[in-house]
Amino acid sequence: MTRIVRIAPSILSADFARLGEELQAVTEAGADFIHVDVMDGHFVPNITIGPAVVKALRPHSALPFDVHLMIAPVDPYVAGFADAGSDIITVHAEAGAHLHRTLQLVKAQGKKAGVSLNPASPIELLDYVWDDIDLVLVMTVNPGFGGQSFIDSQLDKIRRLRERIERETAGTGRQILLEVDGGVTPETARKVVMAGADVLVAGTATFKGGPEAYARNIAALRDAVC
């Protein structure tokens, strides 16, 4: 593959009793981003972490924090996660009444803005906000829990998004990353990169086997897409 592919371990699959050490371990193992899944028990059926935990983790890795807000309403919490040390803040298109306003709020904090599309969310939700997007996240599982199986129907969505991103950024010098989250393994990684993905969120595939396996796990994902 000629496209640069970034690996973003999802700390949802890490050992929560030693998160700081886990971040240090995956950073040393060759990760590109740290993916932080924030869930509220309302927008998705699980509860994870808030800004205070993101702030506590920030000193443990110099990698970009790719913070995925699966919460609604989302606007009241954007500033808190920005202040905690997020670099990219991704929201769901359905998490608020005014997606454009939410993206402008993220930008006002000096952060990169992403939009996440659930498996049933159409690409057309992005039609009028392309100028405000730095990243599109395609959920290849239904959000809420780690360890789910990859939904193959999303490959067509990834292909269509890659084509649209190329059109939207042609001649502008802009970069819009295309990220995939859910069921990413060495087997599915090649499929999603062939379809057009730039960033692979990998939870179980990264953290299985403990710290001594992290470098090997990340290398396996890279090798699968070479």
Catalytic residue among 37, 40, 134, 198: 37
Residue matched to tokens 């924090």: 65
With tokens 């997007």, the residue in question is: 133
Tell me: is residue 68 an annotated ligand-binding position. Answer: yes
10 carries a ligand binding annotation:
yes
Residue 40 falls in the annotated catalytic set:
no
Q: Which of 32, 40, 66, 181 is catalytic?
A: 181
The sign of the torsion formed by the CA atoms of 10, 14, 16, 19 equals negative
Q: Is 146 labelled a binding residue?
A: yes
Tokens of 177: 């990353």
Q: Return the closest-CA partner of residue 207 out of 166, 161, 147, 153.
A: 147
181 annotated among ligand-binding-site residues:
yes
Residue 68 phi, psi dihedral angles, 5° rounding: -105, 105
Number of neighbouring beta carbons within 10 Å of residue 142: 14
Q: Does residue 144 have a known ligand-binding role?
A: yes
Nearest to 157 by CA among 206, 119, 109: 119
CB 61 within 8 A of CB 93: no
Residue with tokens 């670099």: 87
Q: For the chain, what is the largest distance between any 2 Cα atoms, rounded to a whole number of angstroms?
A: 47
Query: Is 173 known to sit in a ligand binding site?
Result: no
Edge-to-edge order in the sheet of strand 199-202: 6-9, 199-202, 177-181, 135-139, 112-117, 88-92, 65-70, 34-39
100 annotated as a binding-site residue:
no
Query: Per the annotation, where are the binding residues for a divalent metal cation?
Result: 35, 37, 68, 181
Query: Per the annotation, where are the binding residues for substrate?
Result: 10, 68, 144-147, 181-183, 203-204
Query: Per the annotation, where are the binding residues?
Result: 10, 35, 37, 68, 144-147, 181-183, 203-204
- Active site (catalytic) residues: 37, 181
